[in-house]
């Protein structure tokens, strides 16, 4: 398969042999593929998720809220294994018709409230507890601007650059160039914003930081997609400084551990969280 020879047919059809990582879970059809009820725990918040950048945003916010003493933020985190197709189970699709993690069910409201899309979950929880979201209209607008910036930008990083640089069945110059250019531009946007700001919106840490850090913070600190050298991520010094500071927050450290099996004896990750002591 090379991009030079491909000429699109008149009507696209589903080629199940398209290859690449995740090819087995991608489908052009929405909805459930099988009946499966979701487990339910004892806490107000039921989180069905995975420790990916989008999933970590939510566990970090919940841990920050718990650190402030909000008992209503107690949560059960259940693992949705997207590699096995858990996101297409009927119970999960009822909470998120888009079949992607994270999805939240708030059982403290009557009727229960379902929330999907990580950005919507962050806003929902921040508003519910009145924390990590500014109330002043101008400050709130700045927070929303950066939160939505992340929601719009990260697909270029993950679905665009990450996919073609790390996951596609072959290396194609055209998409790698296109998305590397865009990701470096995004890093430059962040770096310039952080030149005179401690956090994304100023002096206060808020949900915009929590949304952006698992994507661009991981990119500059954790060699995401094995691309640290290729993208020269260390040159974005303000992003590195900001990312390091957030990584040191105790609640960040707890939240970032939830949602994946440990990769080895040194890794303190936990697949599910049902009690604060699971992370102690
Ligand atoms: N815009 C969504 C994106 C969620 C998303 O892409 N989740 C991925 C994992 S990070 C997923 O569940 N993929 C499964 C699939 O595509 O079938 C959000 O921010 O919540």
Q: What does the pLDDT read at residue 24?
A: 72
21, 78, 100, 218: residue to mutate for ligand 1 pocket, most atoms within 8 A of CB? 100
Q: What does the pLDDT read at residue 273?
A: 98
Tokens 């398969």 sit on residue? 1
- Pick the residue whose CA is nearest to atom 1 on ligand 1: 117
What is the model's pTM? Answer: 0.96
Measured CA to CA, the distance from residue 268 to residue 279 in angstroms comes to 9
Q: What is the DSSP string of 237-258?
A: HHHHHHHHHHHT-HHHHHHTTB
- Pick the residue whose CA is nearest to atom 6 on ligand 1: 100
24, 54, 153: residue to mutate for ligand 1 pocket, most atoms within 8 A of CB? 54
Query: Minimal CA–CA distance to 27: which of 85, 93, 90, 95?
Result: 85
Count CB-CB contacts under 10 A for residue 270.
Answer: 19
Ligand 1 atom with the smallest distance to the CA of 119 is 19
Measured CA to CA, the distance from residue 22 to residue 14 in angstroms comes to 15
Give residue 98 CA to ligand 1 midpoint distance, Å. Answer: 9
Query: Minimal CA–CA distance to 120: which of 57, 199, 209, 77?
Result: 57
Q: What does the pLDDT read at residue 17?
A: 62
With a Cβ cut-off of 6 Å, ligand 1 is lined by 25, 52, 54, 82, 87, 99-102, 117-119
Sign of the Cα torsion 88, 89, 94, 95 reads: negative
Give residue 50 CA to ligand 1 midpoint distance, Å. Answer: 10
Which are the contacts of 205, defined by CB distance < 8 A and separation ≥ 6? 132, 199, 246, 249
In the predicted model, residues of the chain with pLDDT beneath 50 are none
Ligand 1 atom with the smallest distance to the CA of 55 is 10
> In the chain, what are the domains?
31-132+263-280 (3.40.30.10), 137-247 (1.20.1050.10)
Give residue 100 CA to ligand 1 midpoint distance, Å. Answer: 4
Asked whether the beta carbons of 138 and 91 are under 8 A apart, the reply is no
């Amino acid at each position: 398969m090379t991009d030079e020879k491909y000429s699109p047919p008149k009507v696209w059809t589903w080629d199940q042999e398209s290859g690449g990582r995740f090819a087995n879970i991608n489908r052009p059809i929405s909805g459930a593929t099988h009946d499966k009820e979701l487990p339910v725990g004892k806490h107000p918040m039921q989180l069905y998720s995975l420790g990916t950048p989008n999933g970590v945003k939510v566990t970090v916010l919940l841990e920050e809220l718990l650190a402030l003493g909000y008992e209503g933020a107690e949560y059960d985190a259940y693992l949705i294994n997207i590699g096995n197709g858990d996101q297409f189970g009927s119970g999960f699709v009822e909470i998120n018709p888009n079949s992607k993690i994270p999805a939240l069910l708030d059982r403290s409201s009557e009727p229960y409230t379902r929330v999907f899309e990580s950005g919507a979950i962050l806003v929902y929880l921040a508003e519910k507890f009145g924390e990590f979201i500014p109330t002043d209209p101008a400050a709130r607008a700045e927070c929303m601007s950066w939160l939505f910036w992340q929601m719009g930008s990260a697909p270029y990083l993950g679905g665009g650059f990450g996919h073609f640089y790390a996951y596609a069945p072959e290396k194609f110059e055209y998409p790698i160039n296109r998305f590397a250019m865009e990701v470096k531009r995004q890093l430059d946007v962040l770096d310039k914003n952080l030149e005179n700001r401690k956090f994304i919106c100023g002096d206060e840490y808020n949900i915009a930081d929590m949304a952006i850090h698992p994507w661009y913070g991981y990119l500059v600190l954790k060699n995401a997609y094995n691309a640290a050298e290729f993208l020269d991520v260390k040159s974005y010094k303000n992003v590195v400084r900001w990312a390091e500071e957030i990584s040191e927050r105790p609640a960040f450290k707890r939240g970032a551990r939830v949602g994946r099996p440990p990769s080895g004896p040194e890794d303190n990750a936990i697949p599910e969280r049902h009690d604060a002591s699971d992370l102690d």
